[in-house]
Amino acid sequence: MAEDGSVRSLSCPACGGTITIRAAGYTVTLACEYCGTLIDATDPAGRIITRYNEMQASLAIPLGTRGTLRGVEWEAIGWLQRSDGWATWEETLLFNPYEGYRWLIAQNGQWSLGTMLTAAPQRDGPDQIVGRGRFTPFYSDNTARVTRVAGEFYWRVKPGEEVRASDYVRPGSMLSLEQDDREKSWTISELLTGREIRAAFDVDPPPVWIPGMTPLAHQPSPYVRRIKGWWPIAALSFVALLVLLVLFGQTMQPQSFSLSVTPDGPAVSQTFGPIALPLGKQAMTVAASTPGMEQGWVDIDVAFVNRKTQDSYDAYALNEHYSGQDSDGYWSEGTRSQTLKVASLPAGTYDLVVDAQAHHWGSSGNWAFDPSSGTYKTEGLPPVEVNLTVARGARFASNFWLAVLMILVPPLLMLILHIMFENARLAQKDGPPADADDWLRGMESP
């Protein structure tokens, strides 16, 4: 055995490769990183426990690599691969003589840092409590089996070794109970951010979750954090919008015009004005009401025509009112007044051109055949008064709701992604199906 600082080295009794012991005195089993042969490290001669002859996987973190994680320098000294039948993961044993051991657990490209607990968690119903963290059951009673080993370990590890494992989760952490006939041990694994693991050990960055991928049981939904960060911004924007809605929506300088049309009579076209618009661009509000109308409808076309450019800005209103008696008594429908909002009129002097035509509906009145249109029309009905109030400015509620919708689109998208993420995560849960409680827990911050 050569002596070099804190590291001891020996030749693998099986393949002759030089292997090192980095945690001398603690290490019990040494798996040759070249041929996989298990060596008894408590025997000064390095006795072979089991001879293997398999190619070792190329490790993401080669044994002997050092990295600083959360302020502590760690050396990767052991590696094992485990499987519970449907999932496979890798565990790297980290060592620092002043800090003891930690585990780096890699699954689906995500990395967690595992610390063995010296005290058992507190039980609360089905949950387990460690410190202030509450862990809910997720996987129960799986058998985790060691499939491959390399490096050194503080216990007699060998391929095929099995433990019964149960896991409890909270966002960002997993609490695992592993037991065999001799021992029960609890480990907390905290999910490391891509930045943390990459800064410590130069590994591939963890993949960003996309729909279709299976998240880890303790992987926090990346969308919750966004939704939580965004909602004050959304609320603030909503308030700002309300203020803008109130500030920019007043109507002013109303002008009233009126004309009368005879039901089933000729269309009436009348021009009112001038209407002077001094500002750059503005909307116009036209309130068209036909207070005296019964059993009929009035088509009202309004057009603001710029006197200079002859540009026309048009809108159309249909006022109608019908009523009658049936077995349920009196009924009426239709509205006798409409408010039209016309957008973006440039400054200038305008005429208001109104085309109105009234129609009668029903069987009452004097009907006569009109040869020009080939239909029967009533005659002798009193004319209907059309009142128009034109004012500068308009309050477009549609703009407001559109803006609210646009503000809500990103959080809603995040919410949908969050639901998809949590669905995929909770689908793996053992035991009773995920309930509202599991969903609420998923919203908690890591």
Partner 1 sequence: MQSVACPTCGAEVIFRSPALPVRVCDYCRTLVVRYNQGAQGKITENGGESSILPFDISPIQIGTEGNCFDQNFQIIGRVRWAWDDGAWNEWLMLLADGSHAWLGEAMGQFMALREMELAGSLAQVIRRLMNDTPVKPGESGNIAGQSYEVADVRTVRCIGCEGELPFTAPVGWEALSVDFRNRDGRCASFQKDRHGPSLYVGHHVTLASLQPRNLRPLPGWSLPAYG
Partner 2 sequence: MSRSSFLYALWCLAILGLYLTAASQGYSPFADGGRTAGAARAYGPTHK
Residues in contact with partner 1 by the rule CB under 8 A: 3, 5-8, 22-26, 28, 42, 44, 72-73, 95-101, 116, 118-122, 154-156, 181-184
Tokens of 268: 């009436």
Q: Which residue, 361 or 400, has its beta carbon nearer to partner 2? A: 400
- Return the residue matching tokens 């410190």: 131
Q: Which does 311 bind (CB under 5 to 8 A by kind): partner 2, partner 1, none?
A: partner 2
**Helix, strand, or coil here: 341?**
strand
Select from 200, 305, 352, 417 the one that contacts partner 2 (CB under 8 A). 305
Instruction: With CB under 8 A as the rule, give the number of residues binding partner 2.
Output: 49
Q: State the DSSP H helix or E strand holding residue 198, giving kind and residue range, or none if neither.
A: helix 194-200
Q: Does 343 bind partner 2 (CB under 8 A)?
A: yes
What gap in Å lies between CA 82 and CA 94, rounded to an integer?
17
Helix or strand holding residue 246 (H, E)? helix 222-247
DSSP, res 160 = T
Nearest to 293, CA basis, from 323, 326, 268: 323
Four-residue CA torsion sign, 210, 211, 217, 219: positive
Spatial distance between the Cα atoms of 110 and 205, rounded to a whole number of angstroms = 8
Site mask, partner 2, residues 196-225, x = CB under 8 A?
A: -----------------------------x
List the single partner that 402 binds among partner 1, partner 2, none, CB under 5 to 8 Å by kind. partner 2
Burial status of residue 230 (CB atoms within 10 A of its CB: 0-12, 13-18, 19 or more): middle
Q: Write out the binding residues for partner 2, residues 378-407 only, by CB under 8 A.
A: 393-394, 396, 398-400, 402-403, 406-407
8 binds, among partner 2, partner 1, none (CB under 5 to 8 A by kind): partner 1
Q: In this structure, what token pair is assigned to residue 394?
A: 């308009």
42's contact among partner 2, partner 1, none, with CB below 5 to 8 A by partner kind, is partner 1
Q: Which does 5 bind (CB under 5 to 8 A by kind): partner 2, partner 1, none?
A: partner 1
- Which of residues 50 and 237 has its CB atom nearest to partner 1 in the complex? 50
Confirm or reject binding of residue 345 to partner 2 (CB under 8 A). yes
CB of residue 7 to partner 1, shortest distance in Å: 7
Nearer to partner 1, 122 or 253 (CB): 122
Among 204, 314, 430, 435, binds partner 2 (CB under 8 A): 314
Between 1 and 242, name the residue whose CB sits nearer to partner 2: 242
Q: What is the Cα–Cα distance from 164 to 183, expressed in whole angstroms? A: 11
Name the residue nearer to partner 1 (CB basis): 99 or 204. 99
Q: How far is the CB of 208 from partner 2 (least distance, A)?
A: 13
- For partner 1, the closer of residues 44 and 212 by Cβ is 44
Q: Which of 237, 255, 260, 389 lies at the binding interface for partner 2 (CB under 8 A)?
A: 237
Under the criterion CB under 8 A, does residue 439 sit at the interface with partner 2? no
Cis peptide before 382 (omega within 30 of 0): no
Closest-CA residue to 340 (of 384, 395, 379):
395
Instruction: State both tokens at 255.
Output: 């002008």
Q: How far is the CB of 200 from partner 1 (least distance, A)?
A: 16
Q: Which member of 109, 410, 420, 428 binds partner 2 (CB under 8 A)? A: 410
Only one residue has tokens 């009202």, namely 300
Contacts of 28 (CB under 8 A, 6+ apart): 40, 41, 42, 153, 154, 155, 156
Pick from 153, 225, 167: nearest CA to 431: 167
Strand ranges for 154-291 from DSSP E: 162-170, 173-179, 184-191, 252-261, 268-289
Least distance between partner 1 and beta carbon 45 (Å): 13
Q: Which does 343 bind (CB under 5 to 8 A by kind): partner 2, partner 1, none?
A: partner 2
Closest by CA position to 394, among listed 312, 299, 279: 279
Residues that bind partner 2 (CB under 8 A): 225-226, 229-230, 233-234, 236-237, 240-241, 244, 248-249, 280-284, 302-303, 305-306, 309-317, 340-345, 393-394, 396, 398-400, 402-403, 406-407, 410-411
